[in-house]
A and B are shown apart, each in its own frame.
Chain A
């Protein structure tokens, strides 16, 4: 468990170092995600890598524990709303309406595009 957590933190650390060092416009953890993915894919190819956290489902189980509680991690940032009560009293209704309409429009646009694109793809395969 500790070795698996260390591996996850190490991936994030390398990601942060590269992002800060090169001034890349992406978040460090996203680069860390790519590193962990490459490690897992490399493990299937080179048996040498299948040790420690990369063997016996170590890092897989640690990740599952983290992801099973993903929504808890947003609570501290959300409680920050107590600092914004005066702003919410003034513009709260407008902000909530804007965010609500925007999220509905985004959900519909994304799901429609995905379904349409995948329908066009399978149709293309059937009639080449």
Chain B
């Protein structure tokens, strides 16, 4: 046994093992709660994992850089998971091809709405220019949004936070909102979730309906493409 328990903490808190274990076990617990509540929107596993881990870091005085040393192994899988979206796309290719036209129109409208509404609202709220720039790509998946943010000379880490906040809020609100509109076309519902709330919206869509999940995944992939082209144009035209 170690003579000084503090030295054990110093060793563990610097090793990737501890932070990887914390990330996976907190998420596993949050996901179990979500399952126990029958996937209630407010039991969103991402939301509850983030504040739990965040509080733990603040209490133990651990820096985000140290935490990320362990959590990067999970973060890395965002790329392969994007590639993996090819499989549901392939398996549902008939349904996708049948809806290709509505998808493309909704993609352009949705992508423009996400960017323009963010810029216009942020300007109306009187946020500083740096923050507005960091918020514009918030509807695309984290890796892509951070790349766009860098190109704009904004703060990529603020963009990452706004991406995750957008995803969580989208995932929480999508089911009650869509039920209220009375729309039962799960292709359309899923597609909207993928455009507005990227991977977290897609994860939510897969929980609700398999077809919705597929269309959300496609929307997320397509939006990543379109938004990286549209944001620079929108910023030149809209941001003062």
Binding site for B on A (CB under 8 A): 5, 8-9, 11-12, 15, 25-30, 32-37, 40-41, 59-60, 62-64, 66-68, 70-84, 87, 91, 94-111, 113-115, 117-118, 121
Contact = CB atoms under 8 A, between A and B. Distances in A.
B127 A95 contact: yes
A123 B102 CA distance: 13
Contacts of A81: 50, 54, 161, 164-165
A66 B142 CA distance: 16
Nearest to A5: B80
A94 B126 contact: yes
Contact of B110 (A75, A78, A110): A110
Contacts of A66: 77, 80-81, 84
Contact of A103 (B23, B84, B166): B166
Interface residues of B, number: 107
A98 B144 CA distance: 21
Contact of B166 (A63, A67, A91, A102): A102
B202 interface: yes
B133 interface: no
Nearest to B62: A82
Given A75-B49, A76-B74, A110-B191, A95 B200 contact: no
B83 A29 contact: yes
A107 to B, nearest CB: 5
A16 B106 CA distance: 28
